Amino acid sequence: MKLALCGLPSSGKSTLFLALSGRKLSQGKAREEASQALLPVPDARVDRLSAMYQPKKTTYAQITFIDPPQPLIKADDPLTKLPAELRGADALVEVVRNFDGGLGAPQAVADHQAFAQELLLSDLITVERRLERMAQDRQRGRKQDEEEAALLERAKQMLEQETPLRGDAELAGHVKLKGFGLLSAKPLVVVANNAEDDPTPPDLGDDSAPVVIRASIEGELAELADDERAEFMAELGIGQSALDRLIQAGYAAMELISFFTVGQDEVRAWTVRRGALAPQAAGVIHSDLERGFIRAEVMVYDDLLAQGSEAAVKKAGLFKLAGKDHVVSDGEILHVRFSV
């Protein structure tokens, strides 16, 4: 899963990226490539399972954050206003400036709206260009994918009404539109980058419930030792780190859930979309497990914790055999039986 930081210039994307990744600011020449950090998804359940099974290896789910460089804007091409890297992301994290920092009083609502317009405009241009190309090809007698054309028309109408495509689940998730990387179709997490002394979420004038992060403080926190950090966070009234909160919001926006595999070799968390069937979940572990899926033995994390052991879970009748049509829930522990 790849989350891309985006938003207007100087909203604090790079500051947040450094806080998330625990890296130090490297001053100097402008970056040409996106900064990228592969980070473990903090999950207390993994820690508890690891304590119980004492495995050789403990592996958290992972998530990639990218901080693309600001593109050089070409006057004649509005598509260059947004970094090309956003197209390949699974979700967008929009950072809205809500601090002064010598940049002038924050205008969070206006900035948020302006950025939303950029996303819509970028998508409208992409969609119109594709439709024009299809119309030309059709005139030349080349057969077109009319289903794709109809989807693009539907998208165009929404965009012209300034409605982000993510509001239409069928359009947003359609395989025929996937290759375009339409930005307003992607799940969006909004971060308010607040001033150091301000814990209040700004009203952004729409239904986006921003995650409040004070990026500059979070950056300092990331540099502290664990015990110092806990103390400092309590003082500042920060319950969970930026990474924790951002990942939670990202999982919710992308409708992701975690399931686990356990054993003496490894305790591990995996990520799937909500609604995934057992074979699809097995496929995240290995394609052989999906291809040769027979069934999965399923325990629920909460049951395991309450009962204390796998044996006790079985005895309590809480152990399940799940077939190919089993919908995986968050917190399930799977053991996949397969044959290839």
Ligand X SMILES: Nc1nc2c(ncn2[C@@H]2O[C@H](COP(=O)(O)OP(=O)(O)O)[C@@H](O)[C@H]2O)c(=O)[nH]1
**What number of chain residues touch ligand X (CB under 6 A)?**
13
Q: Nearest approach, Cβ of 279 to ligand X (angstroms)?
A: 42
In the complex with ligand X, the residue whose CB is nearer, 104 or 141, is 104
Q: Is 258 in the site for ligand X (CB under 6 A)?
A: no
Cα separation of 133 and 147, whole Å? Answer: 15
Asked if residues 204 and 190 have their Cβ atoms less than 8 Å apart, the reply is yes
Q: Is 14 in the site for ligand X (CB under 6 A)?
A: yes
Judged by CB under 6 A, the stretch of 7-15, 109-117, 124-132, 148-156 that binds ligand X is 7-15
Q: Is 216 in the site for Mg ion (CB under 5 A)?
A: no
Q: Interior CA angle at 232 toward 231 and 234, to 5°? A: 65
Q: Is 193 in the site for ligand X (CB under 6 A)?
A: yes
In the complex with ligand X, the residue whose CB is nearer, 50 or 193, is 193
Judged by CB under 5 A, the stretch of 14-22, 139-147, 158-166, 247-255 that binds Mg ion is 14-22
Which one of residues 10, 36, 80, 307 is an interface residue with ligand X (CB under 6 A)?
Answer: 10
Asked if residues 152 and 130 have their Cβ atoms less than 8 Å apart, the reply is yes
Q: Is 15 in the site for Mg ion (CB under 5 A)?
A: no
Residue 174 partner contact from ligand X, Mg ion, none using kind-dependent CB cut-offs of 5 to 8 Å: none
Cα separation of 91 and 254, whole Å? Answer: 7
**Sequence-ordered list of residues with C-beta below 8 angstroms from that of 116, at least 6 positions apart, any chain:** 164, 184
Judged by CB under 6 A, the stretch of 12-20, 81-89, 183-191, 327-335 that binds ligand X is 12-20
Q: Own/partner pairs for 193-196, CB < 8 Å, 24+ apart? A: 193/11, 193/12, 193/15, 193/16, 193/95, 193/96, 193/97, 193/98, 193/99, 194/98, 194/99, 195/98, 195/99, 195/100, 195/101, 195/106, 196/99
Longest dimension (CA), the chain: 70
Residue 35 partner contact from ligand X, Mg ion, none using kind-dependent CB cut-offs of 5 to 8 Å: none
In the complex with ligand X, the residue whose CB is nearer, 191 or 272, is 191
In the complex with ligand X, the residue whose CB is nearer, 71 or 101, is 101
The encoded tokens of residue 211 equal 């995650």
Q: Is 14 in the site for Mg ion (CB under 5 A)?
A: yes
Query: How many CA atoms lie within 13 Å of 33's alpha carbon, on the beta-carbon side?
Result: 3
Asked if residues 302 and 272 have their Cβ atoms less than 8 Å apart, the reply is no
In the complex with ligand X, the residue whose CB is nearer, 32 or 207, is 32
Cα separation of 73 and 75, whole Å? Answer: 6
Residue 251 partner contact from Mg ion, ligand X, none using kind-dependent CB cut-offs of 5 to 8 Å: none
Q: Is 15 in the site for ligand X (CB under 6 A)?
A: yes
Q: Is 258 in the site for Mg ion (CB under 5 A)?
A: no
Which one of residues 50, 122, 216, 241 is an interface residue with ligand X (CB under 6 A)?
Answer: 216
Q: Nearest approach, Cβ of 192 to ligand X (angstroms)?
A: 10
Q: Is 241 in the site for ligand X (CB under 6 A)?
A: no
Residues lying near ligand X in the complex (CB under 6 A) are found at 9-15, 99, 101, 193, 214-216
